[in-house]
Amino acid sequence: MALPCNTLLPGDSATVMDSLPEGSVDLIFADPPYNLQLSGDLTRPTGARVEGVDNAWDKFVDYAAYDAFTRRWLTAARRVLKSDGTLWVMGSYHNIFRLGATLQDLGFWLLNDVVWRKTNPMPNFRGRRFTNAHETLIWAAKNESSRYYFNYDTARSLNEDLQMRSDWLLPLCTGAERLKDPAGKKAHPTQKPEALLHRVLATTTRPGDVVLDPFFGTGTTGAVAKRLGRRWIGIEQEEAYIKYATKRIENVEPLDPALAHAPAKREEPRVPFGALVEAGLLPPGTVLTDARARHRARVAADGTLHSNTLRGSIHKVGAAVMGAPSCNGWTFWHYREGGGRPRPIDALRTQVRAQMRLA
């Protein structure tokens, strides 16, 4: 069976996944039923009814039934994942611990648990518990030896060039993004914000990767995947949600590929310092300095640096002049172009890489 990419498949999640080719999916994002176990209506202090999750798809007889459901769909999900694929699954305190235990029982390797802290959570109207202001996402590889993908540089860029932490402060899905039915009510009780999926897909997938959502709902995963140039597969059994998702995704315009993805530095082709010398970008004899011109070194024809009695790679000489155990020579050493301000030699490496992509 050919992989039905960019398609919404109707039916039960596990059954449909069983029909897909084994080892064909790069990433699965799952927002399964939470088994909220609500009894009776939840009302505001004014007496108004709170729109909660009371749908049939979130009702299970007991924990054993929910655990059997979870094991069934996670088993099917693991089969369709590639050997280096990963799975994201999210939930609340009602179900996330049971999901985590089943993931480990099935052989998944847990990478992170991420707390989505909501900027605008629903208040606790009864005043008998703390306000539930977060949900938890588990990120797991197919197994311990999986060479999973993570774009660390994109994660930093999304977080003002700081290392991204595992607590994410994002708002609930509201405003124009929230889909409504003709009566003005929520089309889906637990529609997730696109910002959440953007962060997941931008940091843990590449363009062209296949992203599967086995509980597609109104299509948030598909909408974000299409915009970012990822292929997607959705599975949904509720006819009303299928209609909303189909119309929603049809209206999404993909981004220019250059804007949708920035390769991680680890993905970039390797450029040795000697390549800059050979290309004439830093001819032998060029003087390099640190950013404040406290240390000097000259470029040799063999791609090494000379600084007084020191001779070696850009990293080795940089570490020696600083008296440090290590040094990133690409950012430490600077050159001057036409008498201008010093620039890191990494700028020249970026230039060479750009030429390599065009070749």
Q: Tell me, what's the pLDDT at 325?
A: 94
13 vs 47, residue with greater confidence:
13
Cite the DSSP H helix spans in the chain. Answer: 13-18, 63-80, 96-105, 152-157, 194-204, 220-227, 239-250, 257-260, 273-278, 314-322, 329-332, 346-358
User: How far apart are the C-alpha atoms of 285 and 293, rounded to whole Å?
Assistant: 17
β-sheet bridge partners, residue 212: 28, 233
Q: What is the pLDDT of residues 13-33, one digit of tens each?
A: 999 999 999 999 999 999 999
User: How far apart are the C-alpha atoms of 228 and 257, rounded to whole Å?
Assistant: 8
Q: DSSP 3-state assignment of 298?
A: strand
Residue 42 has pLDDT above 60, yes or no: no
User: How far apart are the C-alpha atoms of 211 and 232, rounded to whole Å?
Assistant: 5
Q: What is the pLDDT of residues 144-164, one digit of tens each?
A: 999 999 999 999 999 999 999
Burial label for 164, CB within 10 Å (0-12, 13-18, 19+), is middle
Contact 202, 151 (CB under 8 A): yes
Cα angle, residue 203 at apex, residues 202 and 205 outer, rounded to 5°: 70
Q: DSSP 3-state assignment of 232?
A: strand
Confidence of residue 52 (pLDDT cuts 50, 70, 90): low
Contact 194, 228 (CB under 8 A): no
Q: What is the edge-to-edge ordering of all strands in the sheet holding 310-312?
A: 310-312, 305-307, 296-299, 287-289, 334-335, 343-344
Give CA separation, 250 vs 8, 175, 223, 243, 253, in Å.
12, 20, 9, 11, 8
Diameter of the chain measured on Cα atoms: 83
Share of the chain above pLDDT 70, in %: 93
Confidence of residue 44 (pLDDT cuts 50, 70, 90): very low
Confidence of residue 355 (pLDDT cuts 50, 70, 90): confident
User: How far apart are the C-alpha atoms of 134 and 169, rounded to whole Å?
Assistant: 9
Confidence of residue 54 (pLDDT cuts 50, 70, 90): low
Of the candidate ranges 197-201, 306-310, 354-358, the one whose mean pLDDT is the lowest: 354-358
Give CA separation, 55 vs 27, 36, 180, in Å.
27, 10, 16
Q: Tell me, what's the pLDDT at 122?
A: 81
Cα-flanking dihedrals φ and ψ of residue 335, to 5°?
-125, 160
pTM, two decimals, is 0.77
Burial label for 29, CB within 10 Å (0-12, 13-18, 19+), is buried
User: How far apart are the C-alpha atoms of 240 and 104, rounded to whole Å?
Assistant: 34
DSSP letter for 48, please: P
- Closest alpha carbon to 226 in 209, 244, 243: 209
Phi-psi region of 310 (alpha: psi -120 to 50; beta: other; left: phi over 0): beta
Q: How many residues does the chain have?
A: 359
